[in-house]
Structure 1
């Protein structure tokens, strides 16, 4: 189920063309049963960015180009925290495999509701927004 923000992609390109060196992007994962897997969503987002020539969260030509922020906010996350934890790990690991610099966008309340406040999954090495 591909759903990409074409305006957001164009804004990334516009920012680079305007001379901005660090351009971030935000991924709002789809977590309902109708959605693709976490890894597939990352791959599809990567393909959409690459196909349009938009670059974020990567080192490109020896330049750091910003962060891909994975949004962990209550929209339609399942109540199963174990499932959610694995989904988050899959999002981050696939993005890192594809060369992205990854950050987590969340709050204490959101994180606690979705994954549990006590769980970091080894992701505490990532920037938090």
Structure 2
């Protein structure tokens, strides 16, 4: 889920590519920031294919501003509702750069929670995105000091736990090692984990988890496993377990 994608990132399962099976998985759509607000028809298109989970970027690192609410968040949320979605997650890409005047973790978390509450958004889970931003506008958004990164990440999870909302973490095996120095480094293993692992061919399961586990997490809640271009847009495909939400 890289913030420099210049398109709608919709996590979808296309029946031409992979036929949904009667298993313990649910499927989702994801809109990032950029590219912009997605029309209700785009959300409805994915919903009609049986993808009943929407994930919307609602906080961006915006390094020049120290972090802030994604400009597309509310519009995408409203259009997802109008497109038929009842189960909606958000993801939170924090400002962490040592070269930028980032707001404190507490302030960034509180800003998002206040925004959610003020707009009466019905949100299931907010995913904290721990990964490096390679865009020129926000390069080097993490320190080279792994211990400092780990301490900073823990400040975000501690701030999140102090709220009344449900939180999880999004990352990858490679990103985790790059940021924190070791796959065994633990930020907070009590959080749900949604991870990405693009295999060839794509694997619509968690069979890879034992060999790519990180962060002290025991069982994953979701997996991003490939990209796909289809009639509703450009997609990332994910699976989620029913335990993290299997809406109607």
TM-score tier by shorter-chain length is 0.7 to 0.9
- Give the equivalent residue in structure 2 for 1:26: 91
- Give the equivalent residue in structure 2 for 1:63: none
Distance 1:122 1:4 in 2: 24
Q: CA deviation at 1:88?
A: 1.3
Find runs of 4+ consecutive structure 1 residues off by over 3 angstroms.
Answer: 16-19
- Give the equivalent residue in structure 1 for 2:213: none
Distance 1:7 1:126 in 2: 25
- Give the equivalent residue in structure 2 for 1:119: 185
What are structure 2's unaligned runs of at least 5 residues? 1-65, 134-140, 196-248
- Of 101, 105, 108, the residue aligned with 1:41 is 108
- Give the equivalent residue in structure 1 for 2:126: 68
- TM-score, normalising length from structure 2? 0.44
Distance 2:125 2:167 in 1: 6
Distance 2:85 2:128 in 1: 21
- Give the equivalent residue in structure 2 for 1:61: none
1:76-124 Cα offsets, whole Å, 9 max, x none, are 1111222211221121222222122211111111111111222023425
Higher RCO structure (Cα 8 Å, ≥6 apart): 1
Residue 14 (1) aligns with residue 72 (2): no
Distance 1:25 1:93 in 2: 18
**CA RMSD in angstroms, aligned pairs only:** 2.0
What are structure 1's unaligned runs of at least 5 residues? 57-65
Aligned residues: 120
- Give the equivalent residue in structure 1 for 2:228: none
**Structure richer in strand, relative to its length:** 2
**Higher Cα Rg, which structure:** 2
Question: Helix, strand or coil: the match of 2:169?
Answer: strand
Q: CA deviation at 1:55?
A: 3.1
Q: Is the 8 A contact 2:92 2:128 kept in 1?
A: yes
Question: Helix, strand or coil: the match of 2:72?
Answer: helix
After superposition, the Cα gap between the structure-2 partners of 1:78 and 1:68, relative to the gap in structure 1 and judged at 3 Å, is same
